[in-house]
C-alpha cells in the first residue's frame, strides 16, 4: 500500500551523531518536527536549530518550501537562520581579521538562501557591508567576499538598488577605475554596476558619468576572460538602458575607437572558445548597432524637403551629369524638367516625374535612399556601370536600379531583423559584422550588384521583378547561413551561388517531391515511419543522457548562474544541480537533485509554464516563451522549470521528455529529422529502379495456373 501523500521518508544528519530515518508528516508544524528531532539527540533549545538540504544549494527548510521535500531526501540539522545571521553579524564586526574573513566568506555562501538573507537584512546587515566598502580599510580577500555577499543579498529584491548611498556607489566605481586592483574585486564591482544601470534613470546617469566608455574598453583589452566578460556586460547594460540619442552617440564613439575591429581580432578569433554569455553580448551589440537604422527605415521621404530633393538630384547627377554634352542651365525650365524625368526613369524610378513618391513607402523609407547614395559615392564605377548598362538597353531587359535598391533594402532589413527588439537569450551573430565598418551599407553594395548579375542570368524583364528578388533573397539567406567570417568571403560565396545553381537546387527539390508523391512511395514511407520514429526516440533519449547546460533567467536581468540536467543511463531518473561557469559535462554523481521518471506527470511549454506566467508579457520575453518548458512531477505536482539555450535544444528536450511520458514527439525538429531520414532511406531503397517510372497502381496479379501438379524432382540432383 503506498504511503499517504502528506508523508515523506527522509534521513536527517548531524555532525558526530548517527543519522535519523524518519517519516515526515507534512501536516505537522515544522517546529514540532524540529522538537522531535532534537529530543532524539538530546539537544535543548530546539528553536535554535533548523533543517536544510545536505546536498546542492543547502537551502533552509521553511513552512513555505517544505512541500518540495521528496522521498529519499537527505536533510541536515544545523543552526537556525536567525542564530546563524546573528553569529555572522557579530563575526563581521570582530577585530580579528581571520574571524572577519571567515564570517564574510560564510555570509557570501549562505546569502544565496532567501530565508537566511532576510534574517541578515532584518538585522541591518547591509549597513555593515556598506561600512566595510565606504570606509575602504579592507582590500583583497575581505573586500571580494564582502562584494560577493552584497550581490547575493541584493538578488532577493528585499532592498531597492535606488537606496544605495552615493559614497557606496563611488567606492564601487573607484574599484572599476583603479589600475592596480584585484581582478576578482573588479569583476564583482562591474557586476554590481551592471545590476544598478537598469534599475533607475538616476543610477544609469551616475554610472555612465563615472565609468567612461574608455575605461570599459581598457577592461575589454585585458587577458582575463572573466573581467573582459563583465566589462562587456556593463557596456551592453548601458547601451540597452540609454535613450535613442544617447545610444547613437555611444555607438558612434565606439566606432571611432575601433571596437569592432578589436572584437573581431581579439574576442571572435581568440584562441579560447567563445562562451555562451559573450556570444549573447556580441549578438546584442550587433542588434543594437543595426537598430540604429530603424529611424531612417521608418521615415518616409518628404517631397517638400529641399535637403532630400537635393540628395535625389545628386544621385541623378552622379550617373548622368558627366555624359551631358551641354550644361542643363542653358535649357528652358520645361526642357530641363523633361530631361530630369527621363534620367530618373533610366535610374529605375517608377514615378520619374516625382521620384520622391517611390520613397514614400516605409519601411524601407529613407534608408533605401541612403543606401543608393552610399553605393554611388563609395563605388562610383560600379554605380555608373550598373545604371548606364541598363539605361542603354532597349529590349525591355533593363534592371531598374532604384526600384531594385528599394526592395533590396527592405529584404536586408527583414533578414537582419532591423527594428526588432533584442532577444534575451539569442547568441546568433555574424562574425563578419565586426570585421567591417559600415557593414549594412557595404552589404548592400555587394547585394545590389548581385541583383544586376542575377537579373542578366535570368534574362529578366520588368514582369519578372518579384521573381528575381526572390532568387536574390534566397542567395543571400543561403550564404549568410554559412556564417562567412568576412564580407569578401560573403561576396565570393554569394556570387558563386548563381541562378543556375539555384535552379539546380530547385530542380532537385522538385524531383525529390515528385518522387516522394507517387502512391507506392507514399505507402513505403508509411511502412518505414515506425522504425525511423523509434530511431529518433532513441537519439532523443541519448541526448538527454548526455545532458544540457541551462542558464537561469530572472525578470530583472540575464543571470550568469548555470545548472545542468541529464537523464540517467537506465532512463529512470532525471539528475540536476547547479554548476560553475566553464563546466561542460559534470559527472552524474555531482548532480544532487533527482526526479524519478515514474513521478513525472506532464510536460508544459510556452505560456503554460509557471515561470513564464511570472514574467512580463512584453516583446522582450517572446524568445523566452519560445524556449520555456516545465516538468510537472510528484503527487503534489511540483514543477522543474527550464529555459533552453537554443530552439534546437528545446526541441530535443521536449521530444525526449514526451518519449519518457509515453507521448508522441511534437516538435518541428522531429518532423525535420523524420523527413531527412525518410528521404535518405527512400533514396537507398529506390536506387535499383532509377530512371524507371513508378506506376500509380500495382501491375495486375496473373491468373492462377489451370493445375498445381508441378514440382522439382530432387532425386535427379547431382551427387
Give the domain ranges of the chain: 7-79, 83-286, 298-320+334-508, 530-672
Alpha-carbon distance values, 667 to 123, 574, 604, 649, 659 (Å):
51, 21, 13, 11, 12
Cα gap 492→497, rounded to integer Å = 9
Q: Which three cell numbers stand for residue 397?
A: 531587359
User: Which contacts of 21-25 are long-range, i.e. CB under 8 A and separated by 24 or more positions?
Assistant: 24/69
For domain 7-79, the question of CATH label 1.20.140.10 is answered with no
Q: Cell 565586426 maps to which residue?
A: 434
pLDDT for 1: 46
Query: So what's the pLDDT on residue 91?
Result: 93
Q: Please report the pLDDT score of residue 715 as a whole number.
A: 67
Which pLDDT score, from 0 to 100, does residue 325 have?
Answer: 44
Angle among Cα 73, 79, 81 to the nearest 5 degrees reads 90
Per the structure block, which three cell numbers stand in for 185?
574585486
Say if residues 634 and 596 touch (Cβ distance below 8 Å).
Answer: no
Residue 645 burial (CB count, 10 A):
18
pLDDT of residue 621: 64
Hey, what CATH topology would domain 530-672 get?
PH-domain like (2.30.29)
- The pLDDT assigned to 223 comes to 82
Euclidean distance between CA atoms 222 and 635, whole angstroms: 52
Sign of the CA dihedral with 306 first, then 309, 315, and 316 last:
negative
Low-confidence residues of the chain, pLDDT below 70?
A: 1-5, 56, 321-332, 394-395, 511-518, 553-560, 614-621, 635-636, 690-692, 694, 696, 711-719
What SS3 state is found at 638? strand
**What pLDDT score was predicted for residue 352?**
76
Is the pTM higher than 0.95? The answer reads no
The class (CATH top level) of 83-286 is mainly alpha
How buried is residue 525: exposed, middle or buried, by Cβ count under 10 Å (0-12/13-18/19+)?
middle
DSSP one-letter code for 60: B
What is the DSSP pairing of strand 7-13 with strand 628-633? Answer: unpaired
In this prediction, residue 614 carries a pLDDT of: 64
Q: How many CB atoms sit inside 10 A of residue 695's CB?
A: 10
Distance, in Å, from the CA atom of 143 to the CA atom of 190, rounded to the nearest integer, reads: 14
Helix (H, G, I), strand (E, B) or coil at 8: strand
Amino acid at each position: 500500500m503506498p504511503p499517504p501523500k502528506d508523508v515523506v521518508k527522509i534521513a536527517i544528519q548531524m555532525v558526530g551523531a548517527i543519522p535519523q530515518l524518519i517519516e515526515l508528516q507534512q501536516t505537522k508544524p515544522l517546529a514540532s518536527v524540529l522538537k522531535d528531532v532534537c529530543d532524539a539527540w538530546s539537544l535543548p533549545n530546539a528553536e535554535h536549530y533548523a533543517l536544510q538540504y545536505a546536498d546542492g544549494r543547502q537551502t533552509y527548510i521553511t513552512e513555505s518550501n517544505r512541500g518540495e521535500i521528496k522521498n529519499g531526501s537527505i536533510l541536515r540539522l544545523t543552526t537556525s537562520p536567525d542564530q546563524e545571521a546573528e553569529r555572522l553579524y557579530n563575526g563581521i564586526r570582530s577585530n580579528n581579521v581571520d574571524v572577519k574573513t571567515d564570517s564574510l566568506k560564510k555570509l557570501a555562501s549562505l546569502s544565496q538562501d532567501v530565508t537566511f538573507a532576510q534574517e541578515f537584512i532584518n538585522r541591518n546587515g547591509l549597513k555593515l557591508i556598506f561600512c566595510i566598502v565606504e570606509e575602504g580599510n579592507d582590500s583583497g580577500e575581505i573586500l571580494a567576499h564582502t562584494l560577493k555577499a552584497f550581490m547575493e543579498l541584493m538578488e532577493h529584491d528585499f532592498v531597492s538598488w535606488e537606496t544605495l548611498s552615493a559614497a557606496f556607489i563611488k567606492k564601487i566605481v573607484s574599484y572599476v577605475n583603479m589600475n592596480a586592483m584585484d581582478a576578482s574585486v573588479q569583476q564583482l564591482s562591474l557586476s554590481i554596476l551592471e545590476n544598478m544601470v537598469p534599475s533607475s534613470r538616476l543610477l544609469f546617469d551616475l554610472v555612465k558619468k563615472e565609468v567612461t566608455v574608455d575605461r570599459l574598453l581598457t577592461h575589454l583589452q585585458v587577458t582575463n576572460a572573466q573581467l573582459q566578460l563583465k566589462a562587456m556586460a556593463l557596456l551592453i547594460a548601458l547601451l540597452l538602458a540609454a535613450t535613442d540619442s544617447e545610444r547613437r552617440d555611444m555607438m558612434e564613439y565606439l566606432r571611432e575607437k575601433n571596437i569592432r575591429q578589436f572584437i573581431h581580432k581579439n574576442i571572435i578569433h581568440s584562441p579560447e572558445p567563445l562562451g555562451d554569455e559573450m556570444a549573447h553580448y556580441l549578438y546584442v551589440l550587433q542588434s543594437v548597432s543595426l537598430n540604429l537604422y530603424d529611424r531612417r527605415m521608418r521615415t518616409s521621404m518628404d517631397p517638400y524637403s529641399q535637403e532630400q530633393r537635393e540628395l535625389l538630384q545628386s544621385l541623378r547627377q552622379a550617373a548622368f551629369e558627366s555624359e551631358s554634352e551641354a550644361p542643363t542651365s542653358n535649357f528652358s525650365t520645361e526642357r530641363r524638367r523633361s530631361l530630369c524625368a527621363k534620367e530618373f526613369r533610366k535610374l529605375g524610378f517608377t514615378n520619374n516625374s516625382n521620384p520622391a513618391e517611390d520613397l514614400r513607402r516605409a519601411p524601407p523609407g529613407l534608408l533605401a535612399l541612403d543606401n543608393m547614395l552610399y553605393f554611388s559615392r563609395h563605388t562610383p564605377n560600379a554605380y555608373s556601370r550598373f545604371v548606364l548598362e541598363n539605361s542603354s538597353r532597349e529590349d525591355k531587359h533593363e534592371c531598374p536600379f532604384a526600384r531594385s535598391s528599394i526592395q533590396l533594402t527592405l529584404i536586408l532589413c527583414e533578414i537582419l531583423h532591423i527594428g526588432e527588439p533584442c532577444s534575451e537569450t539569442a547568441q546568433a551573430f555574424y562574425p563578419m559584422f565586426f570585421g567591417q565598418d559600415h557593414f549594412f551599407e557595404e552589404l548592400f553594395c555587394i547585394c545590389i550588384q548581385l541583383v544586376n548579375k542575377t537579373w542578366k542570368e535570368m534574362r529578366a524583364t520588368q514582369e519578372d521583378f518579384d521573381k528575381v528578388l526572390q532568387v536574390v533573397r534566397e542567395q543571400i539567406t543561403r550564404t549568410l547561413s554559412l556564417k562567412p567570417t568576412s564580407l569578401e568571403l560573403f561576396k565570393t560565396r554569394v556570387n558563386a551561388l548563381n541562378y543556375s545553381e539555384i535552379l539546380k537546387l530547385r530542380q532537385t527539390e522538385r524531383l525529390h517531391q515528385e518522387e516522394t508523391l507517387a502512391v507506392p512511395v507514399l505507402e513505403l514511407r508509411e511502412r518505414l515511419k515506425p522504425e525511423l520514429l523509434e530511431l529518433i526516440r532513441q537519439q532523443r533519449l541519448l541526448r538527454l543522457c548526455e545532458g544540457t547546460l541551462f542558464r537561469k533567467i530572472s525578470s530583472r536581468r540575464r543571470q550568469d548562474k548555470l545548472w545542468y540536467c541529464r537523464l540517467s543511463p537506465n532512463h529512470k531518473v532525471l539528475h540536476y544541480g547547479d554548476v560553475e561557469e566553464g563546466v561542460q559535462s559534470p559527472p552524474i554523481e555531482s548532480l544532487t537533485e533527482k526526479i524519478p521518471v515514474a513521478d513525472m506527470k506532464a510536460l508544459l511549454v510556452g505560456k503554460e509554464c509557471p515561470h513564464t506566467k511570472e514574467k512580463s508579457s512584453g516583446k522582450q520575453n517572446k524568445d523566452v516563451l519560445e524556449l520555456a518548458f516545465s516538468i510537472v512531477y510528484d503527487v503534489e505536482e511540483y514543477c522543474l522549470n527550464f529555459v533552453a539555450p537554443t530552439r534546437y535544444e528545446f526541441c530535443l528536450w521536449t521530444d525526449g521528455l514526451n518519449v519518457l511520458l509515453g507521448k508522441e514527439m511534437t516538435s518541428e525538429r522531429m518532423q525535420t529529422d523524420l523527413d531527412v531520414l525518410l528521404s535518405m532511406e527512400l533514396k537507398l531503397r529506390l536506387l535499383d529502379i532509377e530512371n524507371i517510372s513508378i506506376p500509380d497502381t500495382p501491375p495486375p496479379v496473373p491468373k492462377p495456373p489451370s493445375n498445381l501438379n508441378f514440382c522439382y524432382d530432387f532425386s535427379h540432383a547431382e551427387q
